[in-house]
Amino acid sequence: MKAHTRVYGTGFVTGEVCVPNERFTKVCDTTDEWIRERSGIQQRYFVREGTATSDLAVDASRKALDDAGWKAEELDYIVVATMTPDYYFPGVGSLVQAKLGLPPIPCLDIRQQCSGFVYGLQVCDALIRAGAAKKLLFIGAEIHSGFMPFSKHGWDVLNGDSDESVTPEEREWNSRFRHLTVLFGDAAGALCVGPTDNPDRGVLGFALHSDGKDATSLYVPSAGFAYRPYFSEEHIREGRYVPFMEGRNVFKMAVTKMPEAIHEVLEKTGLTLDDVKLLIPHQANLRISEGVQKQLKLPDERIYNNIHRYGNTTAATIPIGYDECRKSGKVKQGDLVAFAGLGAGFHWGAALMRE
């Protein structure tokens, strides 16, 4: 398989406030021990109110541009993977273009949730192969704090700005969503992507799948045009703006489908698992990564996890992991890197890239 597309620079940012597990115990019935044992998460970052997904996306992009040595004005395409855009519409792509002060270049949003990176990378590769882009900015950006059911005071407690307990009623309300709220964080990761003349270095292949039959195992039962009006007081009263998740079902799908997709992309590209230097999986739960690792029989040094520091940042997790691996030297030129993710939809898949 020949590479046509390469990554020239990476960067990421998180929300401004680091929230350790302990703070969640002040707003809902949970423990640091439960969160660590069931998910591996120790802390996550949330933005302060007023920071939007496009702001994180722009900050991550500036870092990636610096890393690549590209000027923003050289960009000719923007692709953003996000399920948490600033507004219902428009998407984040054109907001990033305007905030970077760029001329009217094409901008595209995709919505593949936790598999936004693997799907988005295929879109970028296809645009480059088609000659539609030469200096492309690819961003995975998410702000989950807008999904959270906390009051203003609840946020003050979580942010460490107040020690005054939440009311028992508020605690009870927040606890209804505890299986979900403790898992997510806010962040953005960006990549500068362009064509390459070296067929041995860059994106080598993909194995992507979607199946909507279990879509309601993980979805937002509100703010959509299946409802009239698409958002209502009743939705707010019932907490339907918070994602609904059948955690066990999602867990099972993730540990089954990600290894399948990795085997499939290796077969397609004529490579084997032994060729893979490092797997950077989507970070939804450390136990999911461990399940994938066990099935693939990978030693610890060939899989990268950082969920303990950031939680699940959906489309941003793989770009963050990849940036950390490139910059720490864990991934070096010539190394074969595999990426894999599964998320709401359901969408899942894997990608292979030679650094």
Q: Residue type for 210, please?
A: S
Shortest Cβ distance from residue 281 to ligand UT7 (Å)?
Answer: 10
DSSP one-letter string for 186-222? -EEEEEEEEE-S-TTSEEEEEEEEE-GGGGGGEE-SS
Which of 197, 248, 299, 329 forms a contact with ligand UT7 (CB under 6 A)? 248
Distance CA 31, CA 36 (A): 9
Question: For ligand UT7, which stretch binds (CB under 6 A), given 2-10, 28-36, 186-194, 223-231?
Answer: 28-36
Contact between 34 and ligand UT7 per CB under 6 A: yes
Q: By C-beta, is 43 or 232 nearer to ligand UT7?
A: 43
Number of residues that bind ligand UT7 (CB under 6 A): 19
Q: Which residue, chain included where needed, has tokens 């595209």? A: 108
Which of 62, 111, 176, 178 forms a contact with ligand UT7 (CB under 6 A)? 178
Contact between 221 and ligand UT7 per CB under 6 A: no
Which residues have C-beta within 8 Å of that of residue 264, sequence separation ≥ 6? Answer: 207, 350
Question: For ligand UT7, which stretch binds (CB under 6 A), given 135-143, 162-170, 203-211, 246-254?
Answer: 246-254
Can 192 be counted among the known catalytic residues? Answer: no
Which of 30, 112, 289, 313 forms a contact with ligand UT7 (CB under 6 A)? 30
Contact between 254 and ligand UT7 per CB under 6 A: yes
Q: By C-beta, is 24 or 77 nearer to ligand UT7?
A: 24
Contact between 293 and ligand UT7 per CB under 6 A: no
Can 305 be counted among the known catalytic residues? Answer: no
Note whether 61 and 13 are within 8 A (CB).
no
Nearest-CB residue for ligand UT7? 247
Question: For ligand UT7, which stretch binds (CB under 6 A), given 156-164, 174-182, 228-236, 292-300?
Answer: 174-182
Give the residue among 80, 30, 39 at the shortest CA–CA distance from 56. Answer: 80
Counts for the chain of helices (H) and strands (E), in that order:
13, 13
Which residues have C-beta within 8 Å of that of residue 260, sequence separation ≥ 6? Answer: none
Note whether 219 and 346 are within 8 A (CB).
no
Shortest Cβ distance from residue 343 to ligand UT7 (Å)?
Answer: 5
Contact between 316 and ligand UT7 per CB under 6 A: no
Question: For ligand UT7, which stretch binds (CB under 6 A), given 10-18, 31-39, 101-109, 231-239?
Answer: 31-39
Catalytic residue annotation: 114, 282, 312
Residues found near ligand UT7 in the complex (CB under 6 A): 30, 34-35, 38-39, 114, 178-179, 182, 245, 247-248, 250-251, 254, 284-285, 312, 343
